[in-house]
Amino acid sequence: MKIKTSFIIALVIGLLCITSWELYWRSQGYFPDLDDDKYLWARTRAKVDNASKDDVVLTGSSRVLFNIQVPKWKELTGIQPIQLANAGATPLPVFHDIVENTDFKGTVIVGVTPGLFFSTTFEQAPPWRRAASRSEFYDNRTYAQRLNYALSIPLQNSLAFISNDDEKWHDDINLKALLNTIEWADRNDRANDPPFYRFQDIDINRNVRMKNRMLTDTTFANSVKTIWKFFMSGDKPPPDKDSTIAFFVEDAKKFTARGGQVILLRNPSDGFFKDLESKGLPRDKFWEELVAKANVPAYHYQDYKSLSAFETVEWSHLSASDADQFTENFVHILLEDGLITNLKTN
């Protein structure tokens, strides 16, 4: 009887603590959402193994994540694209994984963010490692990890305080992130780094939408601009144009030879990033050479009024409403060019 009473008391106290912790974070403006972690990416990657020739896979960096809206694409074509882009990463390892480890013969859209696409083929470099590590996790994940993640989804969708994103956001509220905010005397090497706040939400299909706060809170939006400048400050390795183009072209040839289709997309950029990209990775020496050697359909936003009629919020990504329109405009271009299927008209 004493054991039963003790258990009930412990259970009640535990529930009260969880409820109080949850209510506190909701009062701070947090709400339940999913994390863009390796588990969600792997869950999405699994869809490629059963995808048909009509399906579309999205690869690239964060501009593809923000600017191509999965629900809007499905609304227009009846096909839900498989979103495999990774923030801060080159698309080359993901495309290579699809070419070498699947039988997929549909369409792969490859987003070209110049500073990342042309960065490197060195496997330990951060832009490569960020993407490759997720493909490796997909190949090696255990059944226990799959089950554990499936069980975590209802909790992530119900409780605001559950967070385990792969990124190191300043406003993360999981226990590990909170402990990292403590400035220990012997661990202050990054104490002066500017804060990097999460400025997007993601759903179960890895559809990313920019937070509306980016449009209503200038200080918040400027904090993202500050972090972009911080990341790009200091000496950086020069782009490895020859190796990256050669690596991609070899994979593109293999993929098209088996009946697949590759489409290149250059998303919009403004201000700081546009200047940086124009000077350090000029279009005529990088994009044009890539397009010529790959010999695949390619779309640069500057060549289309319907793709260039947008202003990126923090120099690199579109707002949620602009991303909807950008996706719609891009889909219409691809349909007019006969490059994708519209199941709604078949």
pLDDT at residue 234 is higher than 60 = yes
Strand-pair category, 208-210 with 200-202: antiparallel
- Burial of residue 189 (CB within 10 Å: 0-12, 13-18, 19+) is exposed
Q: Helices 320-336 and 70-77: crossing angle, nearest 10°?
A: 40
Q: What does the pLDDT read at residue 15?
A: 66
Buried b (16+ CB within 10 A) or exposed e, 287-304: beebbeebebbbbbbeee
pLDDT for res 163: 58
Report the distance separating Cα 14 and Cα 28, nearest Å. Answer: 22
**3-class SS at 313?**
coil
Summarize the confidence of residues 8-28 as an average pLDDT: 62
What contacts 44, CB < 8 A, 6 or more positions away? 82, 83, 84, 205, 206
pTM: 0.85
Task: Give CA–CA dist 199/201, Å, rounded.
Answer: 7
- Over 60: is that where the pLDDT of 159 sits? no
Q: Is the pLDDT of residue 213 over 60?
A: yes
Which secondary-structure segment (H or E) carries 30? Answer: none
pLDDT at 166: 54
